[in-house]
A and B are shown apart, each in its own frame.
Chain A
């Protein structure tokens, strides 16, 4: 299974970035092999509006089934929901730890956004 994790860096040992739409990197990790693809999210991080929507579309396009991040706003959540991508929010630590918790099935999927919309 592929999992998207928002990251401050480009490694499995990088810190998770709590932001979704404006995280500098999003790592698309294969939970079985730990192979991963680094997506540079910088163009999106500087988006004028709707960074979360763009990031959500990208995560879906990359084939991720789950997004793991700190905060997910209502528009990003609606987009992920439409795409069938589940969300695990409020996570901290390293990307590797997040992947481990989901492999062990120790996650609770979010039922909605945990952050208000930005204006």
Chain B
């Protein structure tokens, strides 16, 4: 079972929700921090990291001894990662999307693959909670291949909680695609609502069921609640704007550890999600 925690707007509490839900479950669960541009779940889960692997993507390497400067490689590249000028071939590795097209069309077999470092994937655990995160190399702009790599390490026997990046672009899609449920974390502010709408549109395109957590639920206005009602999005948990929670967060402490009543609430959150996924599964099997 894969639950992806997303938001649209940044800073709404994706990591807080992901970590606390994992802690509330305690075992049989793994947390994948796919916010690879700025992973921070480890600051709260405090896992022991056991090993790290370097992640590379393939990029072209041109053998000028074989090259006839025919430009078939640069013509096929949609991202202009190759330029042929005079008797030179320039490769702009950071533009390459690793499709292999240039290598396939080269009539001289002059193109082979070399690797470009994207970042690292780190493996660890806190107690019985398995933990993996991706860390994008500083200066790197292309995160989806690293996110996919982190997700490829998921253990299908476990409940997988994905801490997704903010926004609605390719990295977020990479962190949501194929999930059984998307948990949207939002806040009742105009900005929170605006970005939530965009994120919900993206989720609907993916055809994945989705529900909301409304954080700092007693600030702002009621428009997020009205939107949830009109769109038939279940509000699965509300968290008040509570100074004690903010203080705990600022010290790297977790809600479920500090306030025992919240352990049950986060457990309930998971059980509601589980029920929705199960209902949906039954609805689909009935439809067949």
Contact = CB atoms under 8 A, between A and B. Distances in A.
B120 interface: no
Contact of A49 (B74, B79, B84, B90): B79
Contacts of B81: 50
10 contacts: A49-B95, A50-B79, A50-B92, A51-B80, A53-B92, A57-B83, A82-B83, A82-B90, A83-B85, A83-B86
For the complex of A and B, 3 pairs with smallest distance between CB atoms: A50-B80, A83-B85, A49-B79
B78 interface: yes
Interface in B73-99: 74, 78-81, 83-86, 88, 90, 92, 95
Tell me whether chain A's interface is mostly helix, strand or loop, or mixed: helix
A60 B95 contact: no
Contacts of B85: 56-57, 60, 79, 82-83
Contacts of A56: 83, 85
Contacts of B90: 53, 78-79, 82
B170 interface: no
A57 B95 CA distance: 16
Contacts of A53: 80, 83, 90, 92, 95
A112 to B, nearest CB: 16
B86 A54 contact: no
Contact of B88 (A49, A50, A82): A82
Contacts of A79: 83, 85, 90
B141 interface: yes
Given A50-B79, A50-B92, A53-B80, 10 more contacts: A49-B78, A49-B79, A50-B95, A51-B80, A53-B90, A54-B83, A60-B85, A60-B86, A79-B85, A82-B83
Q: By CB atoms of chain A within 10 A, which of B86, B88, B90 has the most?
A: B90
Interface in B88-128: 88, 90, 92, 95
Interface residues of B, number: 14
Contacts of A47: 80
A4 to B, nearest CB: 14
Interface string A25-55: 0000000000000000000000111110110
Contact of B78 (A48, A60, A75, A78): A48
Contacts of A48: 78-79
Nearest to A44: B80
A49 B86 contact: no
Interface in B41-57: none
Contact of A54 (B80, B88, B141): B80
Nearest to A55: B80
Q: By CB atoms of chain B within 10 A, which of A54, A56, A60, A79 has the most?
A: A79
B188 to A, nearest CB: 32
Contacts of A119: 141
A84 interface: yes
B80 A49 contact: yes
A47 B80 CA distance: 9
Contact of B74 (A51, A57, A60): A57
Nearest to A78: B90
Q: By CB atoms of chain A within 10 A, which of B74, B80, B84, B90 has the most?
A: B80
A78 B141 CA distance: 20
Interface string A56-96: 11001000000000000001001100111000000000000
Given A49-B79, A50-B79, A119-B141, A57 B84 contact: yes
Contacts of A51: 80
Contacts of A57: 74, 83-85
